[in-house]
A and B are shown apart, each in its own frame.
With several copies, the nearest count.
Chain A
Amino acid sequence: MARMRMNQAIAAAIADEMRENPDVVVFGEDVAVAEGPFKTSDGLLAEFGPLRVRDTPIAEMGFMGAAVGAAATGLRPVTEIMFVEFLGVALDQLVTEAAKFSYLSGGVVKVPMVMRASVGAGLGFGCQHSQVMESWMVGAPGLKIVMISGPHNAYGLTRAAIRDDNPVAVLEPRILYAVRGDVTTGPEGIIPLGQAATPVSGDDITLVGCGSTVRTALGAAGDAEGWTADVIDLQTLQPWDTEAVLDSVRRTGRLAVVEECPYSGGWGADIVSTVVAEAFGDLSAPPIRITAPDVHVPFGKELEQRYLPNPEYVAGQVGELLATGESPPHWWERDGALV
């Protein structure tokens, strides 16, 4: 157990995997000499040298493709997409190549690569550097998607992702890099992919979060008056832990999914659609989604904070759901919201 910031936990996870397995290599823009734009590869170049830790040209398609080729021939590359939006120039390699190689080789070729990317709003980076963009990857069979929610699972999920024989996208909420927490290091700290965590248990509703919204959901549940919640951190978004969510919803009868993304196309819709199909009879209220609006991430500090769902808003929506048994309007649908 060690106390560290989330970016340190990521660097520690990579370093531990590199120590155990000489096939693990790291590359990306400014990840070597500068130790990562977000310091997530602190110390790696010094310890593992320039053969295994490399800076790349600004060429996401190029180095993502190189990761595919390296992984297909025996290495376990860990690459970094500095801001997830940059996948827009490289998505082909992840979704159309890496994720299909197992299938397209009759199961012979494995592509054990990790694509780490920083995601999310809250730091004033503007609308081309603040999104989560998991919708680009959800629905790509053959690809796993992990979303980090803090130092602890940053370590555990990153190690598991590197050990996985499939291509894994690891999405790291940028706003959490500087957050400190207790981390179980070493083999016991590894967190299996595909399993949700339930940091808080309760009775009245199931709050599902992933990535940055776990903190939001926990905040809402923590301050709640008059109700208690199961707070589920999906951890792995693809494949997500259907059992954990269904078990909880069957007990609580209510579901709220908290997402950082715009309402349209968000991952929560998948959760809701599966839950209504599988547990309709157990529902005592409509499952709701608490998301950002269908707009670009604005720049100004207050606007950006308004854009993101926060604990008070989540608590308010849940309270209203419990009180009325109906889906409450989103904040932007309420009278006077826009003045």
Chain B
Amino acid sequence: MSSDVLARREAVRSDRTARYERMVEIRTLEDAVRGLFAEGLVHGTTHTCQGQEAVAVGVASALRPTDTVCCTYRGHGHAMALGMTPLQVCGEIMGRVVGSIGGVGGSMHLCDTSIGLLPTFAIVGAGVPVAAGAALTAQVRGTDDVAVSLFGDGAANIGAFHEGINLAAIWKLPAIFICENNQYGEYSPIATTTPIANIADRAGSYGIPGEVVDGQDVDAVNAAVEAAAARARAGDGPSLLEMKTYRYAGHSRSDTAPYRPEGEFDEWYERDPIATFGARLVAEGLLAESDVDAIAARISGEVDAAIDEVKAAASPGVASMFENILA
């Protein structure tokens, strides 16, 4: 499994076509996941990331497997971008032993340290100071690894955001704080909870660089994260990047997003990160027109196969409840 995962990671690091494919894979899996829940095949809740695939893949493409990533419950896309397979992700979502942590966590709880992914956080903001801590490890050990914290626009109003970034700034830790501004925290539009237009401007409170990035452009995301990572690796401290993006689906399983203003979705969908990037690759000659459909079809088959494998897999036994409580 692990070598497969690392190969998948390497692919998005080195190959823009692979990035495109990964974005398609994420979208495909997320759509399927919502379907599974809709069918009542999974219990609990899920938070999918359709529309935000360029952020996930752009970030992963700029990081090394030895870097650490602290991600939220909206983590399927990031996990896959970092290399996790659809089988591991879907296995966890459906609570089967083939899942990322053996099926005892569910949709909000993925982890694979071979690709630097710490247990994803279901508590808003909690990953921000944890990323600072991972960056501290790099600084103390003198490696040039970085740590990345991914969080939402809503998370920028919680104390852990403030404390974590301030700590990283004062210690000049090799950390990158990435706000995925998908315009909503749960059902609340950002303007109702946040009195400024750009979260990136909060960097000023910590004397670190802050940058607004087009989160629908995987190349732009890659470039911004590369630059922030270079800065961090060089010992120049943390950065705050704000990825402007959009959540196509509702906040979670049960949300149909009735609160969205008319036309908003369509506006964002016009700049769909997958369609846009596909067109760019075609224009650049890296993909043929026909590849686009072929890729979609192939990945759809792969994801279906993974889901079938999950459905056939065992659920964890009672003993699993008592495992891994203490190290």
Contact = CB atoms under 8 A, between A and B. Distances in A.
Direct contact between A and B judged by beta carbons closer than 8 A: yes
Interface of A: 25, 29-30, 33-34, 37, 51-52, 54-75, 77, 85-86, 88-89, 92-93, 96-97, 100-112, 123-129, 141-142, 144, 165-166, 293-296, 298-303, 306-307, 332, 337-339
Given A57-B194, A295-B321, A306-B318, A300 B95 contact: yes
A331 B327 CA distance: 23
B159 interface: yes
A54 B172 CA distance: 13
B106 interface: yes
A113 to B, nearest CB: 9
A106 B139 contact: no
Nearest to B149: A69
B124 interface: yes
Given A34-B259, A57-B170, A109 B118 contact: yes
Nearest to B133: A69
Given A58-B124, A69-B132, A126 B316 contact: no
B186 A96 contact: no
B188 A33 contact: yes
8 contacts: A34-B187, A54-B171, A57-B193, A58-B155, A70-B140, A104-B119, A124-B106, A166-B326
A40 to B, nearest CB: 14
Interface in B56-79: 68, 70
Given A69-B130, A72-B130, A110-B327, A86 B118 contact: no
A199 B135 CA distance: 44
A142 B106 contact: no
A65 B130 contact: yes
Contacts of B141: 74-75
A58 B124 CA distance: 8
B95 A299 contact: yes
B187 A33 contact: yes
Given A59-B166, A337-B318, A30 B186 contact: yes
A249 to B, nearest CB: 26
A307 B106 CA distance: 16
B275 interface: no
Contacts of B158: 57-61, 89
B315 A68 contact: no
A37 B254 CA distance: 10
B133 A105 contact: no
B321 A66 contact: no
Given A75-B137, A300-B95, A337-B318, A86 B163 contact: no
Contacts of B185: 29, 57-58
A73 B132 CA distance: 11
Contact of A67 (B101, B119, B133): B133
A201 B18 CA distance: 68
Across the A-B interface, the 6 shortest Cβ-Cβ residue pairs: A69-B133, A65-B129, A124-B44, A62-B163, A124-B43, A66-B133
Interface stretch (B9-17, B27-35, B107-115, B234-242): B107-115
B312 interface: no
A303 B318 contact: yes
A299 B103 CA distance: 7
Given A57-B157, A93-B126, A293-B321, A104 B109 contact: yes
Contact of A73 (B44, B128, B133): B133
B194 to A, nearest CB: 7
Given A59-B162, A68-B133, A300-B316, 19 more contacts: A57-B193, A57-B194, A68-B130, A69-B70, A69-B129, A69-B132, A86-B124, A89-B123, A96-B126, A97-B123, A103-B324, A104-B105, A104-B109, A104-B119, A105-B118, A108-B113, A126-B122, A293-B322, A295-B322
B147 interface: yes
B167 interface: yes
A303 B45 CA distance: 16
B154 A57 contact: yes
A128 B167 CA distance: 25
A242 B15 CA distance: 58
B273 interface: no
B321 A303 contact: yes
Nearest to A82: B186
Contact of A106 (B101, B135, B159, B162): B101
A67 B109 CA distance: 20
B324 A102 contact: yes
Contacts of B164: 61-62, 65-66
A69 B159 contact: no
Given A57-B163, A58-B154, A104-B111, A69 B259 contact: no
A183 to B, nearest CB: 25
A92 B147 CA distance: 21
Nearest to B322: A295
Interface string B295-327: 000000000000000000001111111111111
Contact of A105 (B70, B113, B147): B113
A274 B105 CA distance: 30
Contacts of A54: 171
Contact of A66 (B45, B105, B136, B154): B136
A314 to B, nearest CB: 18
Q: Looking at A60, A72, A111, A339, which has the most chain B CB atoms within 10 Å of its CB?
A: A72
B109 A126 contact: yes
Contact of B137 (A34, A70, A89): A70
